[in-house]
Amino acid sequence: MTYHNLPDNPYLLLTPGPLSTSKAVKAAMLRDWCTWDDDYNLHVVQEIRHRLVQMATTSGPDRYTSVLMQGSGTFGVESVLGSSVPPDGKLLIIANGAYGTRMVQIAKALHIPHLVYDLPETNIPNESEVERLLDENPDITHLSVVHCETTTGILNPVKEIVALAKERGVVSIVDAMSSFGGIPLDVDEWQIDFLISSANKCVQGVPGFSFIVANRERLLQCEGQARSLSLDLFGQWSAMEKGKGKWRFTSPTHVVHAFLQALLELEEEGGVEKRFQRYVANQRALVAGMRRICMEPLLPDSLHSPIITAFVSPSSGNYSFIDFYNKLKENGFVIYPGKVTEVDTFRIGNIGEVYPADMERLVEVIERVRFW
Ligand SMILES: *Cc1c(COP(=O)(O)O)cnc(C)c1O
């Protein structure tokens, strides 16, 4: 393969990031940019930071601010966990999937005192259990939870859980990686202190950095607490504030430009609410079509997000994910393997530059290539 005159993508990515992006998002990366120049810092980075806060809350920049952080989403989560929990603090982690479990791995690696509310991947956290854990462990200072657990596509009741934490003065951290920009929320109304997401999910940019929308007061308390130099959340924020958009270390300039274009396209689409409606339409078209050809989602409809859908793999001995994957790829669609531990599944993303008609085409292809 050569990159000269590269043709359009031969397939759609029905994956939860990287995902299919628009032509203009890709075109924004066709120039080289200096990190040091005002055109970049003042007009691109600051514009992005401002737009992220506006998207996250109507309360605005007095109460909330944003930080961009190099690396994939996990780097953003690690930066928040490692910077916000003080040495004498304790973190309650709610885990009902791979991304909740990843927060546990981070806490272990960074030696952050923590407690885990571990539950099956097909269950949402029980509010009275969260309440009990908080009441029985008054040394808990921070709580972290995933909004849309991309493992299954389950949507956790984050607003209710955070409210229980806040009633007890506990700082709230939400991994909204795969929901921010695609599901309406307001960080101030939901009392979220730190929200983490990344460039390559519902905003529909390309991978390369994560971002954090933080309550200003809580962010200031992170000063001097980071367990890492490069993932120091306060350090990164403070450099961006002082340098008016300057990153501490080399920034992913091309990705940042692509992200601004993605934010403009989100606005053009009509904002988060409109994008949410499109994702809901994608997911409904997908599930209705799949049910028609006797493929069942793993979760009941009531627990579902419109972001990604896990389907139970066919039980026939002829089925293999890799053969299925290859057949779909030949026909223009790339899907995702399952991540659930107890049931054999495959996943189909509903996000990105993808529309209900694409989902209908996908179902037709599945019906046609079915070999089991
Ligand atoms: C994508 C994602 C992440 C980040 O994963 P990376 O592999 O670092 O991009 C974290 N949490 C959730 C819920 C995600 O969907």
DSSP 43: I
What CATH number has the domain bearing residue 353?
Answer: 3.90.1150.10
| pLDDT at residue 7, as a whole number | 78
CA angle 364, 370, 372 (to 5 degrees): 155
pLDDT digit string (tens) for 203-218?
A: 999 999 999 999 999 9
Residue 349: strand pairing partners: 308
Last residue of a domain, one of 234, 268, 302: 268
153 lines ligand 1 (CB under 6 A): no
175 lines ligand 1 (CB under 6 A): yes
The answer, yes or no, to whether residue 234 has pLDDT greater than 80, is yes
pLDDT digit string (tens) for 19-33?
A: 999 999 999 999 998
Distance 145 CA to ligand 1 centre (A): 13
pLDDT digit string (tens) for 73-93?
A: 999 999 999 999 999 999 999
* 143 in Cβ contact with 170 (< 8 Å): yes
285 and 176 in a single domain? The answer is no
d(CA 165, CA 142): 8
Residue recorded with tokens 């091309």: 254
Residue bearing the CA closest to ligand 1, atom 12: 177
Distance 260 CA to ligand 1 centre (A): 20
Distance 38 CA to ligand 1 centre (A): 31
Distance 18 CA to ligand 1 centre (A): 10
| pLDDT at residue 36, as a whole number | 82
pLDDT band at 17 (very low <50, low <70, confident <90, very high): confident
Q: Which of 148, 179, 198, 305 to mutate to test the pocket of ligand 1 (most atoms within 8 A of CB)?
A: 198
| pLDDT at residue 37, as a whole number | 83
Alpha helices (H) in 112-157, listed in sequence order: 127-136
Average pLDDT, integer, range 105-124: 97
pLDDT digit string (tens) for 343-357?
A: 999 999 999 999 999
Distance 65 CA to ligand 1 centre (A): 21
Q: Which domain holds residue 291?
A: 272-369
pLDDT digit string (tens) for 286-326?
A: 999 999 999 999 999 999 999 999 999 999 889 999 999 99
Q: Which of 13, 75, 79, 178 to mutate to test the pocket of ligand 1 (most atoms within 8 A of CB)?
A: 178
Q: Please report whether residue 7 resides in a domain.
A: no
pLDDT digit string (tens) for 46-70?
A: 999 999 999 999 998 999 999 999 9
Q: Which of 70, 75, 81, 99 to mutate to test the pocket of ligand 1 (most atoms within 8 A of CB)?
A: 99
Last residue of a domain, one of 253, 268, 283: 268
343 and 262 in a single domain? The answer is no
pLDDT digit string (tens) for 116-148?
A: 999 999 999 999 999 999 999 999 999 999 999
172 and 286 in a single domain? The answer is no
Round the average pLDDT of the chain to a whole number and report it: 96
Q: Which of 8, 23, 20, 26 is nearest to 354 (CA)?
A: 20
Last residue of a domain, one of 236, 268, 300: 268
Atom of ligand 1 nearest to the CA of 77: 10
Distance 139 CA to ligand 1 centre (A): 28
302 and 173 in a single domain? The answer is no
| pLDDT at residue 68, as a whole number | 98
The answer, yes or no, to whether residue 339 has pLDDT greater than 90, is no
Distance 7 CA to ligand 1 centre (A): 29
Alpha helices (H) in the chain, listed in sequence order: 23-27, 38-40, 46-56, 73-84, 98-109, 127-136, 158-167, 216-220, 233-242, 253-269, 272-292, 321-330, 356-369
99 lines ligand 1 (CB under 6 A): yes
80 lines ligand 1 (CB under 6 A): no
| pLDDT at residue 2, as a whole number | 79
Residue recorded with tokens 């939870």: 145
Distance 294 CA to ligand 1 centre (A): 30
What CATH number has the domain bearing residue 217?
Answer: 3.40.640.10
Instruction: Please tell me the total count of domains within the chain.
Output: 2
pLDDT digit string (tens) for 177-230?
A: 999 999 999 999 999 999 999 999 999 999 999 999 999 999 999 999 999 999
pLDDT band at 42 (very low <50, low <70, confident <90, very high): confident
